[in-house]
Amino acid sequence: MKWLNNLCSFYICVKYTHLKLSQNINLAVDGIIFGYQDHSLYVLLIKQKYGSQKGKWALPGGFVLDDERLIDAVKREVKEETGVEVQYLEQLYTFGDDIDRDPRFRVVSVAYFGTVNPKRMVLKPTTDALDAQWYSIDEIPKLAFDHAMIIKVALDRLRSKLNYQPVGFNLLDNRFPFSDLEQLYMTILDRDIDRRNFRKKILSLGFVEETDEYHKSGSGRPGKLFKFNSKKYKELEQEGINLDIKFA
Q: What is residue 204's three-state secondary structure?
A: helix
| Type of residue at 47 | K
| C-beta of residue 203 within 8 angstroms of C-beta of residue 219 | no
**Domain endpoint, select from 138, 161, 184:** 161
User: Which tens digits make up the pLDDT trace of 118-157?
Assistant: 998 999 998 889 999 999 999 999 999 999 999 999 999 9
Spatial distance between the Cα atoms of 244 and 88, rounded to a whole number of angstroms:
25
CATH number (domain holding residue 212) = 1.10.10.10
Q: Is residue 12 part of a domain?
A: no
**Domain endpoint, select from 161, 189, 205:** 161
Q: Is residue 9 part of a domain?
A: no
User: Which tens digits make up the pLDDT trace of 168-209?
Assistant: 999 999 999 999 999 999 999 999 999 999 999 999 999 999
How many domains would you assign to the chain?
2
- Please tell me whether residues 153 and 222 are part of one structural domain: no
The total number of residues shown for the chain amounts to 248
Question: 88-93: long-range contacts at Cβ-Cβ below 8 A with a sequence spacing of 24 or more?
Answer: 88/114, 88/170, 89/31, 89/113, 89/114, 90/114, 92/32, 92/150, 92/153, 92/154, 92/157, 93/150, 93/153
**Domain endpoint, select from 106, 127, 161:** 161
Residue-number span of the structural domain to which 191 is assigned:
176-239
CATH number (domain holding residue 47) = 3.90.79.10
In the 8-state DSSP scheme, what is residue 54?
Answer: T
- Please tell me whether residues 109 and 154 are part of one structural domain: yes
Tell me the average pLDDT of the chain.
90
Model-level pTM?
A: 0.87
| C-beta of residue 13 within 8 angstroms of C-beta of residue 20 | no
